[in-house]
Amino acid sequence: MANGQANGQWFPPDWPDRIRALADGTLTPVVPRRAATVMLLRDTDTGPAVHMLRRRASMAFAGGAYAYPGGGVDPRDDDQQVRWAGPTRAWWADRLGVDDAAAAQAIVCAAVRETYEESGVLLAGPGPGSVVGDTTGPGWEADRAALVARELSFAEFLDRRGLTLRSDLLGAWARWITPEFEPRRYDTWFFVAALPEGQRTRNASTEADRTVWIRPQDAAAGYDRGELLMMPPTVATLRRLLPCASAARALEAAGSQDLTPVLARARLVDGEVELSWPGHDEFTRHVPAEGTPPGQEARA
């Protein structure tokens, strides 16, 4: 079991105190940072599998939880035009619900950059209809390390290598905002993408201790049994993949996915703090309004 619960819902021990502080007005919410994460898919004989990584237990945020490659938006990627294939930046701005094309470019760049940084997979190519076939070798690794260290922006990386970003290989899937009581907050767009032919994943992330290809139904079942620790957005996006019989079907389904932001809500109900994610009742928790011993703060 994870966190004393029947399933694998991630629930940090400091959440109850922070939830109570938010409820009584002594905690000021942190402004969320924009971020992007990608559910990378590949087809198998029994349906699509998704690439997931397990965050190191030592990580301050979601340590030990299974997640997808992802991270924060780099502000440098909104002020330089990149070679671009697929729907226009204006189209993406409308789809992602942001104010301008530059912001949309930065979010899409974050999705593609983080996938490359953490899995070695690059959704870009020499032209609008192509994708690089191999991203291994000393030169590629040096550039990847420079991206991770933020010595190089993704826009600069694409320009240096003469590459075109393939926004048409991405589908926007969901948008979740970290709860207001969390010290590290993200406004995260979830995307789906298919593993390009000729490329393969590897654990390139310093934040992960293992990576797996797993069918969404198997990952969700592992969570339900309490064997795989996950955050609510990860579980919710996995469950929405279940009807998709292939990676291509998932990309087709992306166009109809609701991108209304999901933000957790904490309120006082009958002497308890109720923590809920609107539209996702399975994640609702009840936290006693007064302190309780560690490890006993919440019940499903």
Give per-residue pLDDT as tens, 265-278. 887 777 777 888 99
Q: How far is CA 93 from the centre of its chain?
A: 19
pLDDT tens by residue, the chain, 300 residues: 333 356 778 777 787 888 888 878 888 899 999 999 999 999 999 999 999 998 765 555 556 789 999 999 998 887 778 999 999 999 999 999 999 999 999 999 999 999 999 999 999 999 999 999 888 889 998 999 999 999 999 999 999 999 999 999 999 999 999 998 888 899 999 999 999 988 988 766 666 678 899 999 999 999 999 999 999 999 999 999 999 999 999 999 999 999 999 998 887 777 777 888 999 999 998 877 665 433 333 332
Domains observed in the chain: 15-288 (3.90.79.10)
Radius of gyration of the chain (CA): 19
Q: Give 234: exposed, middle or buried? Use CB within 10 Å, 0-12, 13-18, 19+.
A: buried
